[in-house]
């Protein structure tokens, strides 16, 4: 029989939806954590596969307080509902397909953030874990290597929810809650709000995330769609995103992702805009693309590091550093945005044609 203090230092807030197959393994992994007390708040968004009953059966089986919260479907809604029920001084927003190889990961992370707060002299600091994708082979594909390296950068658009968001309750009250109007990218918006109000720190401890969605839907297909969704969100076309049903199907219902229906729908939505609105749209997309041109030199750096078998996060970024010194300002200019707008326009048309030919 385990006993707990009435309050805990840390609350893990985990949105779940149809996770009956993997929820026990996830909780077993958390049960292996040592070095501090914590509670787990599971926020169900209307599961239909028996997840709620499975969690109810498991509540008394784990060495930490386990709370089940019911919320409206939507990751933002679920995490906000969990935050309202959490009692910890710190919140860790975590995905249900995550795991920690280090059994002291949570204690180390909490200590790391507190030290970062002391260095900053304030509480406006949040932290995320060093991301690693679950690997079935000893050598990971370059796509995973690149994503892991990118997630370690402290740059706009590189901080996402699959890294886990660790934040003091009082800072979350200032930066949050998560935007419930977002169908997608609520984690990215929150991350940028945190960055504008304070700072992000990278926890050296690794968090492993599942690649099951990429394996099911296809790595290229999912990455292309995510890239397009981020661009639409960045240029303020949330209305377009709302017109794309099934963007993130529940994992239990996910299958091979076909890109053409999404791309064709976006194409039709763009053509329905008045001429002036279409020009504005493509210019905004061009500005977004040009602001992300740094990913080209970063890609070259990571490709070289990958070929030289340099561990994630340890290689040099020579091309990126040169870009930041010499080209960063140029790519923020209006002429570059106009050029990128044209490039984006023709690239999108090419993607649509290719997706139709390959039945993506």
pLDDT tens string, the chain, 360 residues long: the values are: 333 333 369 999 999 999 999 999 999 999 999 988 899 999 999 999 999 999 998 888 888 999 999 999 999 999 999 999 999 999 999 999 999 999 999 999 999 999 999 999 999 999 999 999 987 667 888 989 999 999 999 999 999 999 999 999 999 999 999 999 888 889 999 999 999 999 999 999 999 998 777 777 777 788 888 889 999 999 999 999 988 877 665 545 556 788 899 999 999 999 999 999 999 999 999 999 999 999 999 999 999 999 999 999 999 999 999 999 999 999 999 999 999 999 999 999 998 988 888 765
342 and 274 within one domain:
yes
Give domain status of residue 4, yes or no. no
248 and 136 within one domain:
no
Which CATH number covers residue 90? 3.90.550.10
- What is the span of the domain harbouring residue 242? 215-358
- Between strands 165-168 and 125-133, the pairing is antiparallel
Predicted structure pTM score = 0.90
170 and 117 within one domain:
yes
* DSSP assignment string, 3-45: ---SS-SEEEEEEESS-TTTHHHHHHHHHT--SS-EEEEEEES
- Give the total number of structural domains in the chain: 2
Q: What is the DSSP-derived secondary structure letter of residue 63?
A: S
Give domain status of residue 163, yes or no. yes
Give domain status of residue 2, yes or no. no
Indicate the length of the chain as a whole number: 360
Q: Is 148 exposed, middle or buried (0-12, 13-18, 19+ CB in 10 A)?
A: buried
């Amino acid at each position: 029989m385990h006993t707990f203090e009435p309050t805990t230092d840390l609350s893990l807030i985990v949105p779940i939806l149809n996770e009956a197959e993997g929820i026990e393994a996830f909780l077993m992994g958390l049960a292996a954590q040592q070095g501090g007390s914590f509670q787990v708040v599971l926020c169900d968004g209307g599961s239909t596969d028996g997840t709620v009953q499975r969690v109810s059966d498991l509540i008394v089986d784990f060495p930490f307080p386990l709370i089940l919260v019911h919320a409206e479907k939507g990751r933002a809604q679920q995490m906000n509902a969990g935050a309202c029920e959490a009692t910890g001084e710190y919140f860790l927003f975590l995905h249900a397909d995550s795991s920690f190889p280090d059994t002291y990961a949570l204690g180390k992370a909490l200590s790391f953030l507190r030290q970062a707060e002391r260095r900053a002299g304030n509480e406006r600091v949040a932290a995320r874990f060093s991301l690693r994708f679950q690997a079935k082979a000893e050598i990971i594909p370059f796509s995973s290597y690149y994503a892991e390296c990118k997630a370690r950068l402290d740059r706009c658009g590189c901080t996402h929810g699959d890294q886990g968001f660790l934040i003091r309750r009082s800072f979350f009250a200032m930066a949050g809650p998560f935007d419930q109007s977002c169908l997608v990218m609520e984690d990215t918006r929150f991350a940028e709000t945190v960055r504008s109000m304070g700072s992000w720190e990278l926890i050296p401890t690794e968090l492993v995330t599942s690649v099951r969605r990429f394996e099911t839907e296809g790595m290229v297909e999912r990455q292309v769609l995510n890239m397009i969704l981020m661009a639409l969100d960045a240029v303020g076309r949330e209305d377009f995103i709302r017109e794309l049903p099934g963007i993130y199907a529940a994992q239990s219902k996910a299958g091979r992702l076909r890109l053409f229906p999404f791309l064709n729908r976006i194409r039709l939505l763009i053509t329905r805009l008045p001429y002036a609105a279409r020009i504005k749209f493509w210019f905004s997309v061009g500005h977004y693309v040009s602001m992300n041109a740094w990913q080209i030199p970063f890609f070259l750096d990571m490709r070289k590091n990958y070929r030289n078998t340099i561990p994630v996060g340890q290689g040099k970024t020579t091309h990126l550093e040169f870009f930041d010194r010499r080209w960063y300002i140029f790519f923020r200019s209006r002429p570059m945005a106009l050029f990128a707008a044209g490039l984006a326009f023709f690239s999108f048309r090419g993607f649509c044609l290719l997706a139709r030919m390959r039945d993506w």
